Structure 1
């Protein structure tokens, strides 16, 4: 997959911290403390966690190990958290050694000669890979882990530590309590999600081909059954669980001793126990399995045991599971990088753009009741110059996605409220009569210039929406939008094409740290952060002190309201000074020019 650059999360450099600690001076992570704030952020979540005691593995067993023998999908048993979506995703990456080793570095150990109480894991976040450091204090009750664990190998801790790192990334364990399997897969692969509703599948053979091809290319696939809002993981008569995330691990055609060929799919319940499908082709269905010759049964790894993994007919799978999510693997480094998959050279041209919806400026909503407002949303131009290598139909495969960023932070700040906006991504072809060479960065396209090609579907409150298109070479425009006008948020646009393509943002990104105007901004301002007073910084020095999420939001507008209550003008509006005002009811940064009243 090529060399990957890892950025240290919260500026905690694993190698430096590891050198500073040893078995007599164990690492204690103050960025994710061993207290209630790391467990939950809403009062209702703490009922079952009142008696939690944080302990290191050496306090739980005499000979802890990071990994016993090798990591596999049976190592993960879900605990008290409702994070089956995450557990299911982790079980899938264990089947791809390259991906697993990138997420979970294998040179970690509980050997006392090297043990320092510090571990690290890698996740993809909004276009880059980050390295997350954790100590090995884990939540327990009565000397037993209460979250992810390996029941069969209780002295193995890689899964519990990986879960802790993801909880740190989510601001608390509660932050991982609900989600989509593909969200976790994207965070561990940098891949692209595609979602399907089986009720909308018209060509079942084509969908079987889609599933099979995805698995051959090491794609990660999850499936689930819709549940009533009042139900939480309710078990059905057939053994399946509503509202529960399953992993699809195989899809094969099997020839029976009678000569008949059947299509079967293998799924895994992340609970890793006897809660399995009990219908046709289940572990208990001896009649069906006896029609398969012994060699084929062995090849299919058929075993009658309650391990959470089971087979079922493809037709039964379609009838029962409603939501199917595919995470197509992609390079871990974007922007024009090429990859080869499975020995077949598939060239992806990859582009990405950071963006934001800003109230009163670039948040035009869905265009109802006035379509003109829609075209005030951010716009991105795509130029497709070549078709697919092997298609033979003069078309290019294009996958476009809009991913909402920093939703975990927003959810934590709002006490667990829904953080994802209802979003959509529309694709338009620019009419041939338009001279693209004359288009400037601040140009806005309107309906008279465009021909609509498609979109990602209805507006939906998911972290990422994706669309797959087959397009002729030419010039196109992507427009991401929220359903309601003046909703604020940040996003990442990703465009994957088989043929060559180029693209650019048509939105002026106001804060360019390398611009002459900002480099020339030598005036210094007082900086107040509630801790220190009368310190003076340039605008860029102040900007560098902001969290990344605030930096990105300030990048898109001369005026921007930041989540924590900062109102900023960074000098692009024509005013001489940058005035920072503090909201008395928020933990916000403030800055003022000392020479101005």
Structure 2
């Protein structure tokens, strides 16, 4: 097998240009000065002379948001981040902003790139930071808050005057710094931005399918937490021109919804889009103020329709298919778009980080790296996804597509003995590579395959002298739902926990003299108040002892009302996570454990490596890879407690020193 295979883990965040946000902010606060970023200075070169000259613009001023008194006090985020906070400026970076607009609909994904504890008031030092995914690692990018201003207007993304939120402007600046200048954001590929904001995989949806299938795909992708964006084709001038339809040619939009709505005597499929320009909208059927909205009697009209100049509009599926060139769907795992079939399944992942390929034009492909994988069972649809991401240092500003190609070959029986490298005789002119659907951009090359069982090899190649890359191979696993043990009697989870669940009546019903609850009483409470149906997989006494220990701040083996209240809040969140993650049969598969971690509010900011996730799968799932609600609760709460304990005890955030007694007290009681 190929070497250097290792799990893709969010082990550490790389500091871009070795700049540490906390250190720099605290240094400025101590000195009483505002941060000025020498690595991305407030000069024309940070914008890009090509961009200024191309638009005939003079060099702008650089101002901090609080210096503009006409707008009132600036805010980083006032309430919550929204796509409507984004208004595109002079840079042609709609490909970034459309992806970002989609990201705002997924708060747990947004938190990964947008650290929320930033402000223009508390600990303000003129410095902010953001995170982007780059070849398998998150990179933290620091910027100062000096923004280019021309003719009293912000040159690039600018805040809405009614809320004065600057998170989109500063995030755009951080992304420009990561790429070298604002000019390097002037034109790009939507899938590249989707990957940089999530670390996910992008699928190109078929726009030639029937409208009803398209609506179903969009709705199911949204339910799966996918990000969606689309683009219009290039127009006659090759620029982003507003057409008679109100759409902009060569432009990116965010997909924000899809519905089937009653119209006249039938139904019509419609899709909702958002334009990063903020106001320019579609003028055809189902547009704001159109006859179709006046005529429909669908009872959902009040919820779906708003006649606002905010860049968001509805368009019929047929018009969408006629006017748009592609629809991109981004997810953490591969998804299937087969006419209403389940959009996501169970996948295993092979990851090869920090890989390098050298050019061997005279010697042939047998000298290139070789990566083997095994397909064990036949499948009805695509069952293998191969995805390359090129490292930034291997890219040039002139690149239009990724400077890398690859082929996938089936290894026939006479070559099965070669496990590390296939000989030159394997690569004959008569050998055909496997074919599949592919998506190729400047930074990413992803191809989906429907392969029969057997051993396969991935062989990349490049026209460069050398190239560095990340390779991910996803293999679809068989559907274990069909093989579930009929004797597995999971007790059902009640439809909802009472929001006012922490009532004195509930607590006192199980508490000893209304004062506190021990593990035995907690077991009765949880199994009777949370679960329903016949006896089955219930909260065990040992699990309840563990929960008491994790919540027991007074270390007396019992939960008082305040400790129980903390536990109850987590139980309500766990219930929401379980019901939104499990597959509808009351069973959460271990392959979805990562999704449960991401959706748990009390685990915000806590990352888990693939290696640890695999260990936790062994610890908390049964032999068929199923996780019950009680097991999920224990896992999520223990993960929170252990992560917080580490950060509380660690002096440098990298390690900790404990005496033997401290170590034993920590691991034996909790």
2:27 aligned to which of 1, 20, 42: 20
Q: 1:249 to 1:47 in 2, by over 3 A?
A: closer
Distance 1:494 1:39, change over 3 A: same
What is the CA-CA distance between 1:82 and the residue it aligns to? 0.8
**CA contact under 8 A between 2:78 and 2:163: conserved in structure 1?**
no
Contact 2:51 2:183 in 1 (8 A): no
Alignment partner, residue 188 of structure 1: 197
Distance, in Å, in 2 between the alignment partners of 1:463 and 1:37 is 24
Structure 1 segment 348-427 matched on structure 2, within 5 A: 348-359=348-359, 361=360, 373-385=364-376, 393=379, 397-406=383-392, 410-411=396-397, 417-418=398-399, 420-421=401-402, 423-427=404-408
Q: What is aligned with 1:148?
A: 157
| Greater per-residue helix proportion | 2
Q: TM-score, length-normalised on structure 1?
A: 0.70
- State the match for 2:303 in structure 1: 299
User: Which of 283, 292, 301 is equivalent to 2:288?
Assistant: 283
Q: Which runs of 5+ in 1 are unaligned?
A: 332-341, 365-371, 388-392, 412-416, 501-597
Secondary structure of the corresponding residue to residue 174 of structure 2: helix
Number of aligned residues:
460
RMSD: 3.1
Task: Give the drift of 1:190.
Answer: 0.3
**Match among 248, 269, 272 for residue 263 of structure 1:** 269
Q: CA deviation at 1:154?
A: 5.8
Rounded to whole Å, the distance in 2 between the matches of 1:160 and 1:356 is 35
What residue is the counterpart of 1:592 in the other structure?
none
Give the match for residue 537 of structure 1. none
Deviations 1:22-68 (A, max 9, x none): 28211111111111221115486475442311111111235211012
| Equivalent residues of 1:264, 1:313 under 8 A apart | yes
Q: Does structure 2 conserve the Cα–Cα contact (< 8 Å) formed by 1:429 and 1:450?
A: no
- Give the 3 Å change call, closer, same or farther, for CA 183–239 of structure 1 in structure 2: same
Q: Which residue, 439, 451, 461 being the options, matches 1:471?
A: 451
| Alignment partners' CA distance in 2, 1:281 and 1:182 | 28
Following superposition, the deviation at residue 278 of structure 1 comes to: 0.9
Which of the numbers 212, 216, 219 marks the counterpart of 2:219?
212
Q: Distance in 2 between matches of 1:408 and 1:63?
A: 42
Q: Which of the pair has more CA radius of gyration?
A: 2
Q: Which residue of the partner structure matches residue 529 of structure 1?
A: none
Q: What is the CA distance between 1:381 and its match in structure 2?
A: 1.2
CA distance in structure 1 between the partners assigned to 2:239 and 2:314 by the alignment = 24
**CA offset digits 1:170-213 (Å, max 9, x no partner):** 11111111101221111010011223563xx3566555543333
SS at match of 1:188: helix
Shift in Å, 1:432: 2.9
- Structure 2: runs of 5 or more not aligned: 1-7, 335-341, 479-670
Query: Residues 43-442 of structure 1 correspond to what in structure 2 (within 5 A)?
Result: 45=53, 48-61=56-69, 62-111=72-121, 113-153=122-162, 155-196=164-205, 198=207, 201=208, 206-228=213-235, 230-256=237-263, 258=264, 260-273=266-279, 275-293=280-298, 295-300=299-304, 302-330=305-333, 346-359=346-359, 361=360, 373-385=364-376, 393=379, 397-406=383-392, 410-411=396-397, 417-418=398-399, 420-421=401-402, 423-436=404-417, 438-441=418-421
Matched residues in 1 for 2:358 and 2:295: separation?
Answer: 63
Query: 1:521: which partner in 2?
Result: none
1:375 Cα offset (Å): 4.6
**SS at 1:471 equivalent:** coil
Scaled by the length of structure 2, the TM-score of the pair is 0.63
Cα deviation for residue 434 of structure 1 reads 2.5
- In the alignment, is residue 6 of structure 1 matched against residue 13 of structure 2? yes
